[in-house]
Amino acid sequence: MEEQKQNFEQLVRLIGADIDGNKKLYNALIKIKGVSYSFGNAICQVTGLDPNQKIGLLKSNELKKIEEVVTNPLKYGLPAWILNRRKDYDDGQDKHLASTDIKFRVDFDIKRLKKIKAYRGMRHAVGLPVRGQRTKANFRKGGKVGVKKKAGAKKGKV
């Protein structure tokens, strides 16, 4: 028990995310951008680590193993449907992106849609909803909405 307290890390840096060392492994993995509940569970299964173990107690080689599984999940036998970037536009490969790579890739995708003047790209450019939502009541931005009174109108008289 004394040895575990010496090896305990309060703050764990894992794939660009600062994670509290007191969190359980399963919940801590979800704090990484690009890791969902099912993917976090799959990581625990592949690495053979206990999902209820505190992440602050993990050794550096175990953290490296987790990082490797997140960056290259197909190498460890995870199915393609669990990845977050299947059939990439540029090279057609199945990939899994994590951390800032997701933000950059999404920004590039939106820029590409705007450049080719696709419907979705034009909606992004104007600031309107992209996925078919109605706009009558929601997505109102900017100035006031309502009835303006005439400058010279007095109360009670029409």
Residue 138: per-residue pLDDT: 84
Residue 112: inside a domain, yes or no?
A: no
Q: What is the dihedral of CA 30, 33, 39, 43, to 10 degrees?
A: -80
Confidence band, pLDDT 50/70/90 cuts, at residue 153: low
Q: Is residue 136 part of a domain?
A: no
pLDDT at residue 6 greater than cutoff 80: no
Assigned domain for 130 exists: no
- Looking at residue 58, which CATH number applies to its domain? 1.10.8.50
- Tally of domains within the chain: 1
- The answer to whether residue 62 is domain-embedded is yes
Instruction: Encode pLDDT of 14-54 as tens digits.
Output: 888 889 989 999 999 999 999 999 999 999 999 999 999 99
pLDDT digits (tens, 9 = 90+) for 100-139: 888 999 999 999 999 999 999 999 999 899 998 998 888 8
pLDDT of residue 45: 92
39 is a domain residue: yes
State the DSSP string of 65-111: HHHHHHH-GGGGT--GGG-SB-S-TTT---B---THHHHHHHHHHHH
Domain that includes residue 45, residue range: 2-81
In a domain, 59, yes or no: yes
In a domain, 63, yes or no: yes
pTM: 0.72
Q: Is residue 60 part of a domain?
A: yes
